[in-house]
Each structure stands twice: as C-alpha cells, then as structure tokens.
Amino acid sequence: VKITHIFREINLIVDYLTNTAYNSQFGLHLLDRLPVECFYFLRQNIMGLSLSYRSCV
C-alpha cells in the first residue's frame, strides 16, 4: 500500500490539533496525552466512519 497524500480535513485529529495550535496564544504547545475532544474522532476512525473529500473543479 502506498499513500501519497491524505487531506488534512479528512484526518480529523490532525485537523483539530492543527487548529488548536494555530489559535493558541503561545508559541509552543506541549501535550502529554490526546485531548479528550480527539477521542470522538478516534472512535469514528476505528468504526470506519470518515468524511469524503470532494473538490469543485
């Protein structure tokens, strides 16, 4: 299996963490565990539920 690109919008955990870091007041944001909000996205991923990405051309 070769994965060449995963849209950030489909990877909900990375999307959440990226937005959290971007909106943070601090230059460095360290986490020692996955934020509680991410467990919802993790469960969706385990159950095979995902968003489909559609682009307009």
Choice between 53 and 20, residue whose per-residue pLDDT is larger:
20
How far is residue 50 CA from its own chain's centroid? 11
Closest among 11, 6, 1, 2 to 45, alpha carbons compared: 11
Could you tell me if 44 and 50 are in contact, meaning their C-beta atoms sit under 8 angstroms apart?
A: yes
**Whether pTM exceeds 0.75:** no
Q: For 28-45, b where at least 16 C-beta lie within 10 A, e where not — what string? A: eeeeeeeeeebeebeeee
Q: Give mean pLDDT, residues 4-8.
A: 66
Does 55 score more than 60 pLDDT? no
* pLDDT classification of 57: cutoffs 50, 70, 90: very low
Q: Which amino acid makes up residue 46? A: I
Does 52 score more than 60 pLDDT? no
Q: Give mean pLDDT, residues 35-48.
A: 84
Mean pLDDT of the chain: 75
